[in-house]
Structure 1
Amino acid sequence: MVGYGRHLQALAVALSCLAGFVDAIGFITLGGIFVSFMSGNSTRFSVGIADGAWAHTGIIAGILVLFVVGVTISGILAELTDHDRRTRKSAVLALVTALLLLASVGALLDWTPLAVIAMTLAMGAENSVFRRDGEVSIALTYMTGALVKIGHRIAAALLGGPRWRWLPYFGLWAGLVGGAVLGALAHRAFGLHALWIATAVSAALAVSVRFLPYPP
C-alpha cells in the first residue's frame, strides 16, 4: 500500500471489500470452503488427506486449481496490457466483472457449480489488479501479509518511525472483514443471488479506475 496514492489505496480497500463479500458467499455455499482464501483451503486440504476425507479434499483441490487458473488468465491479460496502468487495471477488472456476471447467471439458473467455478476464477483474477515488475504488489484476497505489515509498521512507530504507516494496511484488512460481513448478510437475504451485488460493484470499479489519478 505504501507507495500508492490515496485514490489507489482506496481502490485496493474497495477490492478487498469485494473479495471479502464474495468469499463469504462462497464459504457459506460450500459449507466451509473458501473461494479466495487459499491458505485456509490448503490447511483444510492437508487435514482432509490426513483424515481420508477424499470427497471433501477433492472439492478443495478443485477450488485451489481454479484459483490458480484465474490468476494465470488475469496475469496473461495484465502482461498484454502492461504498457498502460489504467488499461491494465480496467482490463483485469473487466475480466473479474465478466466472471462474477457468469457466476450470477449460474445462480439465476440454479447452477451452483457454475456459480462456484466462476466466482473462484474471479477471486484469482482480482489479484492481478496491482502489479509491479510482474509481481503482485498488493494482495487483495488474503490478509496474512497485511497483518504482518501492520505489526512491522507499529513496531517501527514505537521505535520512533512514521506514526501512522500501519493505517493503510489496517484499512485493507478492515475492508475484507467488512465485505465478508456484508456478504454473509446479503447471502442470508438473497442466497447466491447476492452475487449480482458483487457484479455491480465490480463493474463500477472497472469503470471508475479509468478516471483515477495516476502518478507520472
Structure 2
Amino acid sequence: MKSFDRHDRLLAIGLSALAGYVDAVGFLATGGFFVSFMSGNSTRLGVGIAEMSGNAAIAAMLIGSFLVGVIAGSLIGRVAGRRHREVVPLLLAGLLGGAALLGDFQLLWPAAVLMAVAMGVENIFFSEGTEVRIGLTYMTGRLVKIGQMLAAALAGEDRWGWIPHVLLWSGLLGGGAAGAVAFILVGSDALWIAAAAALVIAVVARKPMAVAPPPA
C-alpha cells in the first residue's frame, strides 16, 4: 500500500468495502456461504467432503464461479489494456446488477453464482500481467502485514506504516456491516446498491488525462 498514491489507496479501500458488502449479502442470503472469501468456502468444501454433505457441492460451485470471474476479468483486462481499470468496475456493476435482478425473481443460487463471478472479476482491478498487487476480497494476508508493521513500529522503525493496511481492512469490515444491515432491511435488493457503487467506482477510477500546456 505504501507504493500507491492517494487516489489508488482510496480506490482500494472502496473496492474492499464493496467486497465486504457483497460478501455479507451473499453470506446471509445463502445461509453461511461466501461469495468473495474463498478460503472460507474451501474450508466448507473440505468439511462437506468429510461429512459427504451437499454443502460440498455448493462450496465447489462458488469457488468455481469465483475462478471463472478471475479468468474472465484477466482476459478482458488484457484486451482493454490501460483502460482495464475503467472496464473492470463496469463489468462488476453489470454482474451485480444481474445478480440483483435474479434475486428479485427469487433465483437465489444463480444470483450467488453471479456474485462470486463478480468478486473474482474485482480482484483483477490492481493486476499487472499475472500479478495482483492488492487482494481486495480477502484480508488474512493484510492482517499479517498489519502485525508485521506494528512490530516494526515497536522496534522503532516505520512508525505509521501500519495505518494504510488497517484502513484497507477497515474498508472490508465496514462494507460487511453495511451489507448485513442492507440485506436485513431490503433483502436481495441490497445488491442494486452494490451495482450502483461499482458504477461510482468506475467513474472515480478514471484518472484525468494530463493536458499538455499550450505552446508559448
**Structure 1 length normalisation: TM-score?**
0.93
Within a 5 Å distance, the mapping from 1:1-216 to structure 2 comes to 1-53=1-53, 55-82=54-81, 84=82, 87-211=83-207
In 2, Cα distance between equivalents of 1:132 and 1:72 = 14
Q: Is the 8 A contact 2:30 2:108 kept in 1?
A: no
Q: Is the 8 A contact 2:89 2:122 kept in 1?
A: yes
**What are the ranges of 5 or more consecutive residues in structure 1 without an aligned counterpart?**
none
Q: Is the 8 A contact 1:7 1:213 kept in 2?
A: no
Residues 27 and 189 of structure 1: is their aligned pair in 2 closer, same or farther, counting only changes over 3 Å? Answer: same
Q: Is the 8 A contact 2:103 2:111 kept in 1?
A: yes
Q: Is the 8 A contact 1:7 1:212 kept in 2?
A: no
In 2, Cα distance between equivalents of 1:123 and 1:98 = 12
In 1, Cα distance between equivalents of 2:208 and 2:107 = 37
Q: Percent identity?
A: 44
In 2, Cα distance between equivalents of 1:19 and 1:156 = 29
**Amino acid of the residue matched to residue 33 of structure 1?**
F
In 2, Cα distance between equivalents of 1:41 and 1:163 = 36
Larger Rg belongs to = 2
Query: Residue 161 of structure 1: CA displacement?
Result: 1.4
Residues 101 and 42 of structure 1: is their aligned pair in 2 closer, same or farther, counting only changes over 3 Å? Answer: same
Q: Is the 8 A contact 1:8 1:212 kept in 2?
A: no
**Amino acid of the residue matched to residue 64 of structure 2?**
V
Q: Is the 8 A contact 1:99 1:119 kept in 2?
A: yes
In 2, Cα distance between equivalents of 1:213 and 1:194 = 34
In 2, Cα distance between equivalents of 1:213 and 1:2 = 24
Residues 137 and 163 of structure 1: is their aligned pair in 2 closer, same or farther, counting only changes over 3 Å? Answer: same
Residues 91 and 109 of structure 1: is their aligned pair in 2 closer, same or farther, counting only changes over 3 Å? Answer: same
In 2, Cα distance between equivalents of 1:80 and 1:114 = 27
Query: Residue 211 of structure 1: CA displacement?
Result: 3.1
State the Cα RMSD in Å.
Answer: 1.4
Q: Is the 8 A contact 1:27 1:33 kept in 2?
A: yes
In 1, Cα distance between equivalents of 2:3 and 2:209 = 14
**What are the ranges of 5 or more consecutive residues in structure 2 without an aligned counterpart?**
211-216
**Amino acid of the residue matched to residue 119 of structure 1?**
M
Query: Residue 27 of structure 1: CA displacement?
Result: 0.3
Query: Residue 134 of structure 1: CA displacement?
Result: 2.5
Q: Is the 8 A contact 2:61 2:113 kept in 1?
A: no
Query: Residue 75 of structure 1: CA displacement?
Result: 0.8
Query: Residue 212 of structure 1: CA displacement?
Result: 6.2
Query: Residue 110 of structure 1: CA displacement?
Result: 2.3
